[in-house]
Amino acid sequence: MGPETGAGGGQTHFRTFLALIVAAGCASSFTAPLEVVFARRLGASAGMLALYIATPGLALMTVDFFGTRLVPRLDARHALAVAVALFGISELALGLSTSVPELFLGRILQGLASGLLLGSSLQGAVRVGHSPEYALGKYNGAFMIGSVLGGPAGGLIASVQAGTAGYRLSFFVCAAISIVTSVTMYWSLPPLPPSGPVRTPRLSFPDLGAISGVRTALVLGTFGDLLRGSVVYTALPLTGQERHISKAIVGLAVGVLCAADVLAMMSAVRVFERLGLRRCLLAALTAGVALSLCLAFSEDVVTFLLGALGFGIVIGTLALAPQLLLMSLHGDASKGLASYRIASGFGTMTGSTAGGALAATAGAMVTFLGIAGVIAGGVTIVICTGVREAYPAAADA
């Protein structure tokens, strides 16, 4: 049995939740920079490597797409503990693999675990926190902090031993972190059941409802993770390489972007309340277009660093705002966040895949011009649709 305290049992529980989310975020990114290289070391062909890269995203999207009547109806503490434990098992499977086909079991489990983790942690944030809006901002920031710490730590562990042995060690350490985090979640968090009437959890097609404006909000919900996938992991590093910017500066730029992303998500709610959500969305999207154009044409190192800083603020704003829009539209935090996960998962997969393909074939300038065009589409959506009328909570003050 777990703790007997009810949901939302004070600031102590919320601080514990955030600390555990940092640990879960760390585990989720711990081996991310190593996984493709490990598959190559085991002899993966180009075609197998493409399938290997796509598999977790497809599994994650499966959970997001078919889980809108499953994840919100589960106790978030139980779902989180299972998700993080399953992620640990996936890391064990990867670490024990001796051939490329054996890797796919771990990758499928990894994607399923990530989908359940991201969905249930959003549900947990609004159930354990007193204010759903502020809880979401702090949750997103905590997860990003863990993600920023995980990759370098995993790489450091992998460097302890030569060859694939170092990679396997990193997988096993990540599995241990995941299992410890899972057990700690179960025993230290209070029960976090869904509010309202008890409904049977089940897999189904997405439950988006017929509420006006939901589909527009879902489209806007893709932008934050789309930009994370295309800018942070593809366009910025490629730009640095093409323009002979040192690896130290590129690393600094990525670190500055991630830090700005975290701070934006953790403080954005107050800005939204002061300026209005619609106005902030427009400002972030417009700034994203301007930053993309600057990075496409300017080869100055200062512009490179300032662009990274600006993109961190843009991405943090675009990640959090649609979550609040969808909660407001549905009038139900659990249902709104479940629908947001569909948009977020699609954005992650599209951003990393399309961004990588464009960067590999056309270079940094064309990649940033493409990103600018996509973000400009978001500006058009906010201006030309009934965002102001559909979202009373988002109307400008």
> pLDDT, tens digit, for every residue of 318-349?
998 888 888 888 777 777 888 888 888 888 77
Q: Percentage of residues in the chain with pLDDT exceeding 70?
A: 90
Which of 395, 234, 242, 388 shows the shortest CA–CA distance to 311? 234
Q: Name the 3-class secondary structure at 372.
A: helix
Out of 5-9, 98-102, 258-262, the most confident range is: 98-102
CB within 8 A of 217, min separation 6: which ones? Answer: 322, 325, 326, 329, 391
**What per-residue confidence (pLDDT) applies to 210?**
59
Contact 100, 48 (CB under 8 A): yes
- Over the range 151-186, which residues count as b (16 or more CB within 10 Å of their CB) and which as e? bebbbebbeeeeebebbbbbbbbbbebbbebbebbb
Half-sphere exposure of 78 (CA within 13 A, CB side): 10
Question: Which stretches of 3-43 are assigned E, i.e. beta strand?
Answer: none
Q: The tokens of 227 are what?
A: 């930009």
Q: How confident is the model at residue 288 (pLDDT cuts 50, 70, 90)?
A: very high
**What per-residue confidence (pLDDT) applies to 361?**
76
Which of 108, 60, 109, 105 shows the shortest CA–CA distance to 82? 109
Contact 49, 323 (CB under 8 A): no
**What per-residue confidence (pLDDT) applies to 212?**
64
Distance CA 67, CA 73 (A): 10
Q: How confident is the model at residue 111 (pLDDT cuts 50, 70, 90)?
A: very high
Distance CA 31, CA 29 (A): 6
Question: Which stretches of the chain are assigned E, i.e. beta strand?
Answer: none
Of the candidate ranges 56-70, 90-104, 328-342, the one whose mean pLDDT is the lowest: 328-342
Out of 86-100, 233-247, 270-284, 330-344, the most confident range is: 86-100
Structural domains in the chain plus CATH codes: 11-188 (1.20.1250.20), 214-394 (1.20.1250.20)
Contact 77, 192 (CB under 8 A): yes
Digit-coded pLDDT (tens) for 148-164: 888 888 888 988 888 88
Comparing 355 with 8, the larger pLDDT belongs to: 355
Which of 143, 191, 111 shows the shortest CA–CA distance to 320? 143
Q: How confident is the model at residue 203 (pLDDT cuts 50, 70, 90)?
A: low
pTM of the model: 0.80
DSSP 297: H
Q: Is the pLDDT of residue 238 over 90?
A: no
Out of 33-47, 155-169, 240-254, the most confident range is: 155-169
Q: Name the 3-class secondary structure at 261.
A: helix
Sequence letter at residue 206:
P
Q: What is the mean pLDDT of the chain?
A: 85
